[in-house]
Chain A
Amino acid sequence: MPHDKGWRKSRAKTADNLMTEDQPFSFRLQTNADLLKEIFYYPTNLALKVRNLYIPLLDREGMVFYWEDSVDTQTIEAHIVGPLLQTKEIAMDSGDIATLLTKHVLTAASSKKISFIQEAIDELINGNTVLFTEGYAHALSISTTSFEGRTISLPTVENAVKGPKEAFIESASVNRSLIRKHVREHDLICELITVGERAPKQVSMMYLHSIADSELIEGVKKRIMDIDTDTIMNLSMLEQHLEERPYSLFPSILATERPDRAASFMYEGHIVLIMDNSPLALIVPVTFWALFQTGEDWYLRWAYGNFIRLIRLISVFVALFTPSLYIAAVTFHVEMIPPDLMLAIAATRERVPFPTLVEVLIMEVSFEILREAGIRIPSVIGPTIGILGALILGQAAVQANIVSPILVVIVAITGLSSFAIPEISFNFGIRILRFLMLFVAFFTGFFGIGLLSTFLVAYMVSLKSFGVPFLSPMAPFQPSAKDLLYRPILRDRLLRPFYASPQDQVRQKKTERKSSR
């Protein structure tokens, strides 16, 4: 990592310390120490900790630097300071000080030799310990990282009744380990890519080498490297930097908090991105079907899995179309409602002074407000939302003749259905489109609904996520595991090969073998 281009680039902009530019360490211990202290604003900022020590083995003074709260002090004590002070003699071995110490003295898990100030800064920030010795123009960085974080817990968004119940947390290494637990393959590759110029962060890109398309891997890597920004806080922001169409209503990247789901995507040739501080994994590229499916579809037996899929499919349509179908029917196509129902609707609408559109908008907007308030409300006063929502909006609005009762039913079923859409971005997309559909239906009825739906489909098929069409393998049609709206029984999926590039015959065989999970 130290001498690649990105690293140099990042250094150029680091803070205002131009003196650190490419500056190597000095032979004098005190010079190095003073420089580091200046960079870390010591003693204003007390985060940098220094321990002076005498290393009997080398008969020299030494200094151990670390950054408070990002290291495990126990490790420093037991595996760095302790051995350094206690080791007096070793078997004859000549060589570099760094090699000598690493081979014979230090008992820490890993360490590396560094030569530049900037490297020392990066190592310290990332929770490693840096050891300087008098008369030696290099230093030793020993890994002692230990940031505080929560322990692995249950998924909060993607719940599953049957299936693993671990979710990603805010630590990248824990998340990688969760994935490795699911994918025990020798060709599971984890590449580290550095992004951000002011405060570089590492993105772990994981994929299965024998399955993922090499062109795709290069494309994703290039896209991440091309990001030109000062810093990226976490995956949710990385997602927005990676998108091809930032204004699109449909997401082109999937975020999941389930390691099992991330692992199963890897087996289909997707790439998983992981970063610190994000209890998520990003999956690229992604197709429409992934937004609509859940991990549980495959954990349940064939009939049950298909049943819940069917319910979700209905939910998508209900959430998108119900209010607009209602408006279109009562505004333009009254004759299609059965007479009894029509009379009932007319009777309740009689006392409502507004046009249908206004009525629907009042209810839909109130519902969205309710929903947003439900998320923002402090959990202590949470129950009030229920009272407000149910009583005031439902009951009182009808009694006050602001809306008709049938509308409450329609808004309720629409709202419920939108909760059944599993992916949060897709969920938002559908909810916003619903309003668009509403206006179109009010002005042009079924004609407009037909126009807008066709446009939506044409738009969806023209979308691409990292070169992969959004609706593939349905349009364009490709042979696949047939895991779209319907899922086959598991035994069938094992036998059916996944689709691989025809020019790459070898992969096809491998894919076939690996597809068994």
Chain B
Amino acid sequence: MIKISDGKLGVKEFTALVFVTIAIKGTDTTPDLLIYAGMNASWVLPIFFTVFIFIPLLILFPLMKKHDQGLLELIFRLAGKKVGILICFLLFLVILSSTTVNSRSYIDIINTMYYPLTPLTLQYFLFLMVCYFIAKRGFESIGRASSVMVWYLVVSGIILLFSVWKKSHWLNLFPLAGPGIIPLLRDGAAYSSIFGEIVLLAVFLPFLRSYQDFRKASLIGFGFSAFWVAILCAFYTMVFDYPSVEYLNYPYHQLTRVASLGGLITHLDAIFLGFWVIASVLHFSIYLYMTAYIFARTLRLDAFEPLLLPLTGLILLIGLIPDNIITLNQSREFVIFSASAIVFFLPLFLWGLDRWKGRRQSEKA
């Protein structure tokens, strides 16, 4: 039966959106960091991240439920106007810098691995242009497009795993703890902002039908994403083995290079590139939209979609600054570490404020 749309996202769409936002991290340069930190046990790290990220989430979600507000509204409500603007602006900087750095890094991957002759500027421009067009169609469309495409992405991922199955050796995973439990735990905490988007995604609560939908979708999407990143990391180690996997810049794309289905179809990398581009475009449309949304809310603007174009231009311009992947990776690591702290402590800070305010109010009463 035909029904008129209400313009909000449901569980399925938001789960897909969370998955596209986070799971794609297993396919960019993130595993490099994980492998550097976790050695052959890099696949354990995503699981530790999940545990660490759960602490702020467990604090944040009840707060959101209590006030029934999205993250940004919550900040303004609890921290007041001035501090609220400051925090939101900080969040905006975090999201803007990570969008810029990551998008440039994705284009670097495509340029290095597949199109060494095409000008990077042109590719970057095309890429961000499409991201802009998708973001411009609204959050509803991004969510729905993710929910349509996510199945193709998952199927292509599973096909990839099947096609490298023969070349993987599960014994490569041993010793299971890699550098040892303590270093793993330490790095798990330090790098956990790699998954920190899940906290930032809480700004989208107003776009969902209900808080229950939001919580369910976030947790399911997050769980699957962590699982997928862990599987990918395990496969990198299983196929390439530990010391050599560390020297690969883009393990996912190397993995697609070795993928083969039978004896006839031996080079599938271009096909996987197509699907990967789909996922990245969706990923950065979400980021772009989030950047514009946070910026608009910081300045208390109602219409934020006109901001998308100038922000896209800004991202393009900043993204073109780094000369090469080496300088880019340094700034990327810096962004990850600073974001880690913010993402981790923001919910704690909000919780503290809430307690303090609650106590003050009860004292008054």
Question: Which residues of A does B touch, CB under 8 Å?
Answer: 211-213, 215-216, 219, 268-270, 285, 287, 328-329, 332-333, 335-336, 338, 444-455, 457-459, 461-462, 464, 466-469, 471-472, 474-478, 480, 498-501, 511
9 contacts across the A-B interface (CB closer than 8 A): A268-B2, A269-B2, A446-B273, A446-B277, A451-B127, A459-B137, A462-B141, A467-B4, A476-B147
Q: Shortest CB–CB separation between residue A430 and chain B, in angstroms? A: 17
Given contacts A216-B4, A462-B141, A480-B1, contact A444 B118 (CB under 8 A): yes
User: Do A454 and B115 touch (CB < 8 A)?
Assistant: no
Please tell me which stretch of B264-272, B296-304, B331-339 contacts chain A, meaning at least 4 of its Cβ atoms lie within 8 angstroms of it. B264-272
Top 4 A-B residue pairs of the complex, sorted by shortest distance between their CB atoms: A450-B277, A333-B270, A498-B1, A461-B144
What residues make up the interface of B, taking CB atoms closer than 8 Å to A?
A: 1-5, 9-10, 12-13, 110, 114-115, 118, 123, 126-127, 130, 133-134, 137-138, 140-142, 144-145, 147-149, 264-271, 273-278, 281-282, 285
Listed residue (A270, A450, A468) with the most chain B CB atoms within 10 angstroms of its CB:
A450
**Measured between C-beta atoms, what is the minimum distance from B2 to chain A in Å?**
4
A461 and B273: CB pair below 8 A? no
Q: Are B3 and A213 in touch, CB under 8 angstroms?
A: yes
Interface of B is mostly: helix
Distance in angstroms between the alpha carbons of A477 and B143 in the assembled complex: 11
Q: In the bound complex, how far is the Cα of B144 from the Cα of A446, in angstroms?
A: 23
Q: Is the CB of B145 within 8 A of A475?
A: yes
The tally of CB-CB contacts under 8 A between chains A and B is: 152
Q: Given A269-B2, A458-B285, do A332 and B13 touch, yes or no (CB 8 Å)?
A: no
Q: Which of A451, A452, A475 contacts B144 (CB 8 A)?
A: A475
Across the interface, name the chain B residue whose C-beta is closest to A452: B130
Contact between A461 and B148 (Cβ–Cβ < 8 Å)?
yes
| Residue of A with least CB distance to B2 | A269
Are B115 and A445 in contact, CB atoms less than 8 angstroms apart? yes
Given that A450-B276, A454-B278, A475-B13 are known contacts, is A468 also in contact with B141, CB under 8 Å in the complex? Answer: no
19 extra A-B contacts, CB within 8 A, seeds A454-B145, A455-B281: A213-B4, A268-B2, A269-B1, A335-B269, A336-B268, A336-B269, A336-B270, A450-B273, A451-B281, A454-B149, A454-B277, A461-B145, A462-B140, A462-B141, A471-B144, A471-B148, A476-B5, A477-B13, A477-B147
Partner of B110 from the list A328, A447, A458, A475 (CB cut-off 8 Å) is A447
Contact B3 A499 (CB under 8 A): yes
B3 is contacted by which of A219, A447, A461, A501 (Cβ under 8 Å)?
Answer: A501
Q: How far is the CB of A454 from the nearest CB of chain B, in Å? A: 4
A461 to B146 alpha-carbon distance, docked (Å): 10
Q: How far is the CA of A211 from the CA of B141 in the complex (A)?
A: 28
CB distance from B109 to the nearest CB of A (A): 11
Contact yes or no, A476 B115, CB < 8 A: no
Q: Check B273 against A447 for contact (C-beta < 8 Å).
A: yes
Listed residue (A211, A335, A446, A453) with the most chain B CB atoms within 10 angstroms of its CB: A446
Partner of B123 from the list A444, A457, A501 (CB cut-off 8 Å) is A444
**What is the bound-complex CA distance between A476 and B8, given in angstroms?**
9
Task: Give the chain B neighbours of A480 by CB distance below 8 A.
Answer: 1
